[in-house]
Amino acid sequence: MSYSVTGAAAQTYQVETVAENLEVPWAIAFAPDGRIFVTERIGQLRVIENGVLNPEPVTILDVGGFEGGLLGIALDPNFEENHYIYLYYTYNDFLSTFNKLSRFTESDNKLSDEEVLLDKIPGGPFHDGGRIKFGPDSTLYITTGEAGNPGLAQDLDSLGGKILRINSDGTIPEDNPFANSPVFSFGHRNPQGLDWDPETGKLVISEHGPSGERGFAHDEVNVIESGKNYGWPDIVGDETKDGLETPFLHTGDDTWAPSGATFYNSDNIPEWENMFFIATLRGNHLRMLDLDLENNQVHSSEALFSEFGRLRDASIGLDGNLYILTSNRDGRGSPQPNDDRIFRIVPMVIPQLAYFPPPLKQISDGIPPENVTCTEGLEIIFKKSNGLPACVKPSSVSKLVERGWAS
């Protein structure tokens, strides 16, 4: 299914439905062989193959939490050789809730050999983080929430409220900022989106602002540097304090509830190249930002695709197209028929009409009247008065013949 919409720059785009009737999809990953893997928060990993959603899950995990569950997914940079899939998920342990990061081996759309790389990440009914991506340096970055306990974000001995960084085998990179620790940055509330700016290589994240603990709204976009403290819960919005980083951008009193994010590292839609896209939940739109990280400026901010409701993830596929995931069945939305869905945004191909000069110009150029060609969409007729050709709309032919003007 597809239809066209017109963007702000008068460019027409095609919105294609890739999959529908999903159970709260959370993250998407693209395999080199064309398969698309999608996590569903209820614990199912799904696969789309040859454009069709396989009715059989790749795996079903026993997940816990309320807004936790099966969250992030990443494929190993060497997936073609090792078929490693990384999953971040929430689980219950007696009366406690935690998150873990595990590596599995995929074969024939099934997973096996779970190896837990990180465990006992603080979990809860809310603020479980969960986005995972391999960076340009081939290390794995993980966003974690503070699980409703703001103090954890400032505790370097806790994995909650952090951006974590590990090697693909779970070991700690030697250049991490804190010795023998996966912590890369701290002072985060609930980051759920991350990607790297194609122009500067800087890591940019989206992060949920407070919902009553320190006011409301003030969702953030942060530029992450190794070892820095991003302030939660000590500062919010434009507040400052020595040793704490203020956000690159915050939303003020407007709540986006930002989730998955991606830079448009593609030229499929040229005017979107290098734009930063954020899927928003409460905002019910896809936010497009033109960020100038070198000069610390936001050149533009625009809300797109508000007709789809709550959006959980935005990601660029290997085909260079933008994919967005709805989250209308998560208990906070208003599901539409066939929700939840995955959409793909592609440029509309506008047919180029074959153009030919007017008939008299063709004749003056030496083309015989009987060989004159009309531009596509017009039909040739011959005037009764002089036998010369004319090009007219098809709907006009019969009228002109009836009036004796043409034959």
Q: Determine the pLDDT at residue 6.
A: 41
Answer whether residue 1 shows pLDDT above 50: no
- Give the CATH H-level superfamily of domain 2-347: TolB, C-terminal domain (2.120.10.30)
Span 130-140, mean pLDDT? 98
Residues 229-269 have pLDDT tens digits of 999 999 999 999 999 999 999 999 999 999 999 999 999 99
Q: What is the pTM of this model?
A: 0.86
Answer whether residue 71 shows pLDDT above 50: yes
Q: Determine the pLDDT at residue 35.
A: 98
Q: Determine the pLDDT at residue 323.
A: 98
CA distances from residue 344 to 28, 315, 341 in whole angstroms, order as listed = 12, 10, 10
Residue 120: band (very low, low, confident or very high) from pLDDT cuts 50, 70, 90: very high
Least confident window among 81-95, 123-137, 393-407: 393-407
Report helix, strand or coil for 355. Answer: coil
Residues 272-313 have pLDDT tens digits of 999 999 999 999 999 999 999 999 999 999 999 999 999 999
Residues 175-196 have pLDDT tens digits of 999 999 999 999 999 999 999 9
- Rounded CA separation 106/79 (Å): 9
Q: Is 310 exposed, middle or buried (0-12, 13-18, 19+ CB in 10 A)?
A: buried
- Rounded CA separation 125/147 (Å): 7
- Rounded CA separation 385/47 (Å): 68
Percent of the chain at pLDDT > 90 equals: 86
Q: Determine the pLDDT at residue 336.
A: 92
CA distances from residue 3 to 13, 172, 200, 324 in whole angstroms, order as listed = 8, 47, 35, 15
Span 151-167, mean pLDDT? 98
Q: Give residue limits of the domains in the chain.
A: 2-347, 359-402
Report helix, strand or coil for 154. Answer: helix
Residues 2-26 have pLDDT tens digits of 333 444 444 568 999 999 999 999 9
Q: Determine the pLDDT at residue 407.
A: 76
Residues 10-68 have pLDDT tens digits of 456 899 999 999 999 999 999 999 999 999 999 999 999 999 999 999 999 999 988 99
- Rounded CA separation 64/157 (Å): 24
Residue 137: band (very low, low, confident or very high) from pLDDT cuts 50, 70, 90: very high
Residue 403: band (very low, low, confident or very high) from pLDDT cuts 50, 70, 90: confident
Closest by Cα among 330, 317, 382 to 126: 330
